[in-house]
Amino acid sequence: MVPVLEAGVWEKAEARPLVMVVNDDAAMRDALQFVLRLEGLDVLVHADGAALLASRDLPRTKCLIVKDRLPGMDAFEVLQRLRERELSLPVILLTSAATPALSGRAQAAGVWMVLEKPILDNRLVEAVTSVLAGQRAVKPT
């Protein structure tokens, strides 16, 4: 069953979809978590890729939002490690420099969508909603 977003509340027989956010900027993590929770989603945040990879909640994650440049390992290394564990997650990549080269690299890494910062209006919620509905687009939005 695909979750349905109506009036900011996910309606589903099972638990609400879990979205994980990886961003080294604490203010950005808090803001993303706040916005997504307003939409009725479960949200867990991590400051880096190592914390994400240590999470016991990875198997139930329905969407991963990850910043491209992170301390320790970048988003692409995080995605490689997830693949090595045979974990396939829909991924939204956040970047401040969306280039054709980055889009190509993102597509090759299995990223579902690239969002260029600043994230204005309702773009993040629309992106997560699209990913949870199974819609894929790797061109920067």
Cβ atoms of 113 and 127 closer than 8 Å: yes
CB atoms within 10 A of CB 55: 14
> Which amino acid does the sequence have at 94?
L
Average pLDDT of the chain, as a whole number? 87
Query: For residue 14, is pLDDT > 70?
Result: no
Write out pLDDT tens, residues 78-90: 999 999 999 999 9
For 72, left (φ over 0), alpha (ψ -120 to 50), or beta? left
Residue ranges per structural domain of the chain: 18-132
- Strand-pair category, 18-22 with 9-11: unpaired
Confidence band for 135, pLDDT divided at 50, 70 and 90: confident
Q: How confident is the model at residue 10 (pLDDT cuts 50, 70, 90)?
A: very low
Predicted local confidence at residue 27, as pLDDT? 96
What gap in Å lies between CA 48 and CA 99, rounded to an integer? Answer: 23
Side-chain half-sphere exposure of 109, counting CA atoms within 13 A: 24
CATH class of 18-132: alpha beta
**Sheet with strand 18-22: strands edge to edge:** 42-46, 18-22, 61-67, 91-95, 113-116
**Residues near 57 by beta carbon (within 8 Å), at least 6 away in sequence:** 18, 20, 44
pLDDT of residue 140: 52
Per-residue pLDDT band at 129 (split at 50, 70, 90): very high
